[in-house]
């Protein structure tokens, strides 16, 4: 697989605490949303793909079922929003509201 986050894919991602992982995923989603609002579809797609890559790296390390369930559902909704028909009626605001607490918690923990 051709990873965008090569260093993270080589095992560094699993050393990052879960809250920071989710905050980093949120950063990529935020970038995708920003490019989407500017109608730059190529950059939006690239950022969304990077977010999915980070989600997949997170899923490799998930050990508890509730966390696995949440992350896989979040991944499904992201794919639906950026690449599908948005059957879940996600909005940029709903994605910001989902990821903001992770960013806040990760920042607070530093």
Residue closest to 49 by CA, chosen among 67, 21, 69, 25: 25
CA atoms within 13 A on the CB side of 35: 16
Per-residue model confidence as pLDDT tens digits over 26-81? 999 999 999 999 999 999 999 999 999 999 999 987 777 788 999 999 999 999 99
Please give the model's pTM, rounded to 2 decimal places.
0.88
Spatial separation of the C-alpha atoms in residues 2 and 6, rounded to whole Å: 8
Domain parsing of the chain, residue ranges: 16-108
Q: Which residue has the higher pLDDT, 96 or 9?
A: 96
Spatial separation of the C-alpha atoms in residues 47 and 28, rounded to whole Å: 6
Longest dimension (CA), the chain: 38
DSSP run (H or E) holding 71: helix 65-83
Handedness of CA 101, 54, 93, 44 (dihedral sign): positive
Per-residue model confidence as pLDDT tens digits over 68-103? 999 999 999 999 999 999 999 999 999 999 999 999
């Amino acid at each position: 697989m051709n990873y965008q986050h090569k260093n993270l894919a080589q095992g560094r991602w699993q050393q990052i605490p879960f809250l920071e992982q989710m905050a980093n995923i949120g950063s990529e989603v935020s970038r995708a949303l920003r490019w989407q609002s500017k109608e730059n579809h190529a950059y939006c797609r690239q950022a969304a793909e990077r977010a999915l890559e980070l989600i997949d790296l997170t899923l490799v390390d998930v050990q508890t079922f509730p966390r696995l369930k949440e992350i896989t559902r979040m991944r499904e909704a992201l794919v639906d929003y950026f690449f599908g028909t948005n059957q879940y009626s996600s909005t940029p605001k709903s994605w910001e509201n989902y990821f903001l607490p992770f960013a806040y918690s990760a920042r607070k923990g530093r």
